[in-house]
């Protein structure tokens, strides 16, 4: 599925500095599959900041994780579609009805529509955190429930941690897109990611898109860091 993109690597533009983001984008456009723009960037720089990055022509994953009542999420998605992101997302815990309404709006775009992706369980939550919220079972059980809800609602796929890729690939079949952060090369610092996997292992387990930020944007030569990751991928990726 990453065949739609040059390669499976989407780099998170996690910086507060718009000029820096634009410089990074220009450097990375020739080597990445796409770039990810998140809450911090979008709340700071808005649509005009987004457009400065999108003007490079790179596919963009607009990672705003919408979560509200169905009508409000549908309206939010409608407002964002004019930016023409390649991928956008909502929280799967917003429920099947909310996800269906979001999907219906995205489908109005026809063939060129973005992928609509469900966020499962935030990787910052562990077993103790979800128990405190009254969620039964392990984080993996909850991720599987949320992925099933996203699939029932007709979403294109989910965001999940590397640890759930294999089981979700089995649960959800080969067409369901799995977008995976928490990726690190062997021996590299995990930063604050608690559960990491190498790019090649994540792809072998069934990931479609790898979201990688700090190992690329903090490198002395970000494009070379991407080339280094690409060199380590299995040939089919
Ligand atoms: O720097 P690093 O490679 O850890 O960044 C991963 C990117 O993926 C960041 O933009 C982070 O916000 C995002 N992300 C994540 N875990 C999730 C969802 C998104 O790390 N569950």
The 10s digit of each residue's pLDDT in 169-186 is 999 999 999 999 999 999
Ligand 1 centre and the CA of 206: distance in Å?
18
Ligand 1 centre and the CA of 112: distance in Å?
26
Nearest atom (ligand 1) to Cα of 63 = 19
pLDDT above 50 (res 221): yes
pLDDT above 90 (res 123): no
Confidence of residue 39 (pLDDT cuts 50, 70, 90): very high
Residue 64 neighbours by CB under 8 Å, 6+ apart: 38, 39, 42, 76, 80, 88, 89
pLDDT above 60 (res 208): yes
List ligand 1's pocket residues with C-beta within 6 A: 12, 14, 36, 38, 122-123, 159, 181-182, 191, 193, 211-215
Give the pLDDT score at 178.
98
Confidence of residue 193 (pLDDT cuts 50, 70, 90): confident
Six-digit token pair at 52?
Answer: 């400065």
Whether 177 sits among the annotated catalytic residues: the reply is: no
Beta strands in the chain (DSSP E): 9-12, 34-38, 60-66, 87-91, 115-119, 157-159, 177-180, 209-212
Arithmetic mean of pLDDT, 115-135: 93
Task: Evaluate whether 147 touches 120 at the Cβ level (below 8 Å).
Answer: yes
* Strand pairing class (209-212; 34-38): unpaired
State the pTM of this model: 0.95
pLDDT above 90 (res 28): yes
Six-digit token pair at 116?
Answer: 């609509």
Give the pLDDT score at 95.
98
Task: Evaluate whether 55 touches 81 at the Cβ level (below 8 Å).
Answer: no
Residue nearest to atom 2 of ligand 1 (CA): 213
Distances (CA, A) of 115 to 120, 133, 156: 16, 30, 6
Task: Evaluate whether 124 touches 143 at the Cβ level (below 8 Å).
Answer: no
The model's pLDDT over 49-100, given as tens digits with 9 standing for 90+, comes to 999 999 999 999 999 999 999 999 999 999 999 999 999 999 999 999 999 9
Q: Which of 3, 36, 65, 100 is catalytic?
A: 65
């Amino acid at each position: 599925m990453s065949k739609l993109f040059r390669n499976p690597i989407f780099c998170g533009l996690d910086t507060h500095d718009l000029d820096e983001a634009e410089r990074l984008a220009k450097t990375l456009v020739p080597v990445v599959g796409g770039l990810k723009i998140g809450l911090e960037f979008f709340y700071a720089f808005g649509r005009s900041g987004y457009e400065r990055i999108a003007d490079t022509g790179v596919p963009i994953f607009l990672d705003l994780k919408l979560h509200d009542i169905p009508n409000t999420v549908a309206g939010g998605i409608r407002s964002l579609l004019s930016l023409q992101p390649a991928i956008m997302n909502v929280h799967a815990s917003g429920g099947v009805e909310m996800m269906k309404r979001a999907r219906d709006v995205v489908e109005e775009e026809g063939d060129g529509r973005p992928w609509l992706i469900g966020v499962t369980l935030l990787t910052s939550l562990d077993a103790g955190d979800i128990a405190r919220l009254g969620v039964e079972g392990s984080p993996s059980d909850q991720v599987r429930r949320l992925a099933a809800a996203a699939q029932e609602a007709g979403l294109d796929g989910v965001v999940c941690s590397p640890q759930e890729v294999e089981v979700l690939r089995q649960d959800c079949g080969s067409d369901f897109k799995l977008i995976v952060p928490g990726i690190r090369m062997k021996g590299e610092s995990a930063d604050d990611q608690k559960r990491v996997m190498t790019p090649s292992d994540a792809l072998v387990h069934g990931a479609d898109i790898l979201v990688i930020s700090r190992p690329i944007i903090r490198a002395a030569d970000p494009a070379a860091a991407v080339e280094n990751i690409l060199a380590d991928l299995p040939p089919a990726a």
